[in-house]
Amino acid sequence: MLVRLMATDTTGIPVFDSRPRGRAMFSSLRNRAYRLFLASQSLSTIAVWAQRIAVDWTLMELTGDITLVGMLVVLQFGPVLLLGMWGGVLVDRYPTKMLMMASQSLAFAVCATLAVVALSGALAPWVLFACAGVLGLSAVVDQPARQVLVGQVVPGKDLSNAISMNSIVFQVGGMIGPAVSGLLLAGPGASAAFLVAAALHLVALVSMGVLFATATLIPRAKGARGRGQIVAALRYAASKPEIHVTLTLLVFVCVVGLNWPVILVSMMTTEFASGPDGYGLANTALAAGSLLGALASLRRVHRGLRTVILSVSVMCFLRLLCGFAPAEWTFLLAVGSTGVGLILMWTAANSLLQWSSNTGIRGRIMSLYLMIAVGGQALGGPLLGWGCATVGPRATLVISAAIPLLAAGVLTLLQLRRTR
């Protein structure tokens, strides 16, 4: 069954002759189902960030041990790295509606549990670890299911625009969530932060329920049952240059070309001696650039693999400039510009992977994408930290930008040779 499925026509890669203008930049929002999805996504994103900050801070207050906070992060992201492909198999095999309602309900239940336990005064480290572990396991299915659901809510011509809108929501949620959590932690305390996060999860769940009750999702093929589904997905990815070249580039970028916290801490403290204020400014510049990049992606003309390779090259070149910035203000400007390129790269890669994969195998392809994004940064963090301590942050920045830039050049030459 799987062989017949993969032999059928795969959704074509969209090519637009002119850049969208005005209202056309928000074409996906004309779809009521997508508006409901985006509302749920935005509330859920804010809730996840608020909850994550509150959990990390609470554990630090209870134990005073930063190592335990690091272990908590492993529980939050480790399951996606270890079990991601199995999550993709489940997404391909079962209805997205069932998986999304289950994961969103679980997120609400965990947050509500944390709020109740915190209000009772019985909050203990093991409770925080247990809740983080449950949410980490839920993310194995939740994250690829959300990626796949976008393609079921909007028609193909609006897919790239919808992915760009998701990036905007993620960036804004990543700024609002920590800010809300910080204010609540400084005022009423952790219990209030958990209560607000639970309320946001509940509204997101209701919005998702209204979506599934009132909208007709675009049907997608079901993945085959039986053994060998992960191997089949890997072979499928290897057979399509649009997929395996994109994923290969992301491996280089995620392992050595990201992990901005490591770089920014080292640059601001070692090179510019600006302390925590400077570090905060650098993060603000990166976030502002990322938001501008998401807005810019709404007007991009999609050109398939060429767009991905060009986006990676531009992002790496801008990162390279960060390493040569002579003063703090020029560094902040370069970091903001790199944030623009970073989001343009992610939206281009995400769009191409979804467009190039059959709907019956898309869950596994997007799980592979998420595993590279999470696992690459997990591996690259210690590597970049060692580089900053050994050769300095500037040299580390230059090397970490040059490696994926070189990989993009080599893959471009190979693709040109294959085309000829």
Residue ranges of domains in the chain: 26-214, 229-419
3-state secondary structure of 65: coil
Model pLDDT for residues 179-205, shown as the tens digit of each residue: 788 888 888 888 999 999 999 999 999
The larger pLDDT score, comparing residue 62 to residue 280, is at 62
What's the rounded mean pLDDT across residues 363-392?
84
What is the rounded distance in angstroms from the CA atom of residue 322 to the CA atom of residue 330? 8
Asked, colleague to colleague, whether 26-214 and 229-419 share their fold, the answer is: yes
**pLDDT exceeding 90 applies to what percent of the chain?**
29
Note the Cα 111 to chain centre separation in Å.
21
pLDDT in tens, 299-346: 776 668 888 999 999 999 999 999 999 999 999 999 999 989 988 898
User: CA-CA distances (angstroms) from residue 34 to 56, 209, 317, 351?
Assistant: 32, 13, 35, 16
CA 313 remoteness from chain centre: 20
> Helix, strand, coil shares of the chain as percentages rounded to 5?
85, 0, 15
- The class of domain 26-214 in CATH terms is mainly alpha
- How far from the centroid of its chain's Cα atoms is residue 244's Cα? 19
3-state secondary structure of 231: helix
Identify the pLDDT of residue 20: 61
Query: Which of 304, 127, 105 has the alpha carbon at shortest distance from 209?
Result: 105
pLDDT for 92: 87
Instruction: Output the CA–CA distances (angstroms, integers) from residue 409 to 188, 247, 396, in the order listed.
Output: 53, 15, 20
pLDDT for 283 equals 77
On average, the pLDDT of the chain sits at 83
Question: Using CA atoms, how far apart are residues 116 and 47, in angstroms rounded to an integer?
Answer: 16
Average pLDDT, integer, range 212-224:
80
- Count of H helices and E strands in the chain? 15, 0
Mean pLDDT of 24-53: 87
Q: Is 64 left (phi over 0), alpha (psi -120 to 50) or beta?
A: left
Question: b vs e for 53-74, b when ≥16 Cβ sit within 10 Å of the residue's Cβ?
Answer: bbbbbbbeeeeeeeebbeebee
**Rounded Cα–Cα distance for residues 404 and 249 (Å):** 7
Most confident of 71-75, 235-239, 352-356: 235-239
Within a 10 A sphere around the Cβ of 116, how many other Cβ atoms? 15
d(CA 93, CA 99): 10
Q: How confident is the model at residue 2 (pLDDT cuts 50, 70, 90)?
A: very low
Q: Please tell us whether the domain made up of 229-419 is placed in CATH 1.20.1250.20.
A: yes
pLDDT in tens, 131-159: 988 988 998 899 888 888 888 888 877 87
Q: Following CA atoms 119, 120, 126, 131 in sequence, which dihedral angle do they give, to the nearest 10 degrees? A: -50
End-to-end CA distance of the chain: 34
Mean pLDDT, residues 341-354: 87
Closest listed residue to residue 143, CA positions, set 354, 374, 367: 367
- Rounded Cα gap, residues 324 and 318, in angstroms: 10
